[in-house]
Amino acid sequence: MEEATERHRGNTTGRGEMNFPKPIITKEHGTWAMLLVPMAVAATTVGTFSVNAAFLVVSALGVFLSFVPLNSLMDEYTSNSHPERFLENALWCVIYLAVGVGAVLPLIRDGFWMIVPLGSTAGFTFFTHFLLTRSLQKSIVTDIVAVAGLALGAPAMYYVLTRSLDFHAWILFVINFLFFSSSVVYVHLKIRVTRGKKSDLTLSEKLAAGRLNLAYHAFVIAIVAALSLYRLTPATAVLAFVPMTIHAFYGTYRLSSRVSFSRLGFALLAHSVGFALLWTIIVFL
């Protein structure tokens, strides 16, 4: 996703010295959930945690945090914009990537070689996302590409905990990809309607504007129900998707150009946490 960042520039002291620049951290709260929830879902599905799993989390955090400064460096390289920020971005990119690579080395030493292609695939989605945002800017397509990369945390965690990258690992990827893509579709519905600047929409206009949102959530429920029917997920797995689906349907019914995106962001973050908790309850029942 297109990252909004909080940049803290080093302040010049009275003697002309520069303070060490504060970390560059993403302000998009939802991406943190997209990173951590898939790994949490995989860990609760397996029913265990380990030191190796902790190394994976640290590595994922390091690589994830490098996204913002790396994206800025690529922007500066291709468009020569904000060259004065180059050193700050380069510094934090190196620090974050050092943490990410350093934490994954114990896993490779312990024989988890499949972490390399998984990480490479996640890196490929990053560059694909960057290239797409150059041509499409922020869109459903670019955001879903980002979701696909972050959802790889689920099979990666499953692999580290079980030493297996079997069919069940990829079912977890699908589950997380479907859930987080639903929030992408819903947010872009809100963005489109906001740009229309029409506050009072008729029911037919709301249904027309929200048809992709409604169809996608119905599709997700159908897919998860089918996975449960074939015993590829817990029998009640669909319940984890119900709160977000109700929100999306009700949000379409209440559609308006007046949207508080900060409130919407926190609501979707709450849905992500709720999804992880519901999945945990479902697995242990």
Residues 39 and 93 sit within 8 Å (Cβ to Cβ): no
Phi, psi torsion values for 18, nearest 5 degrees = -105, 130
Report residue 112 as tokens: 């988890």
Give 187-217 pLDDT, tens digit per residue. 999 999 998 877 789 999 999 999 999 999 9
> What value does the mean pLDDT take over residues 21-36?
88
Confidence check: pLDDT of 169 > 80: yes
- The predicted pLDDT at position 116 comes to 96
Confidence check: pLDDT of 17 > 70: no
> What value does the mean pLDDT take over residues 94-112?
97
> What value does the mean pLDDT take over residues 259-276?
94
- The predicted pLDDT at position 84 comes to 62
Residues 93 and 66 sit within 8 Å (Cβ to Cβ): yes
Q: According to the CATH classification, is domain 1-165 in 1.10.357?
A: yes
Give 63-84 pLDDT, tens digit per residue. 999 999 998 888 876 665 555 6
| CB-side neighbour CA atoms (13 Å) of 220 | 29
Parse the chain into domains and list their residue ranges: 1-165, 170-285
Query: What amino acid occupies position 64?
Result: F
The 10 Å Cβ neighbour count of residue 282 is: 18
What stretches of the chain show up as alpha helix (H) in DSSP?
29-46, 51-79, 86-109, 115-136, 140-151, 153-162, 167-196, 203-209, 211-229, 242-253, 261-284
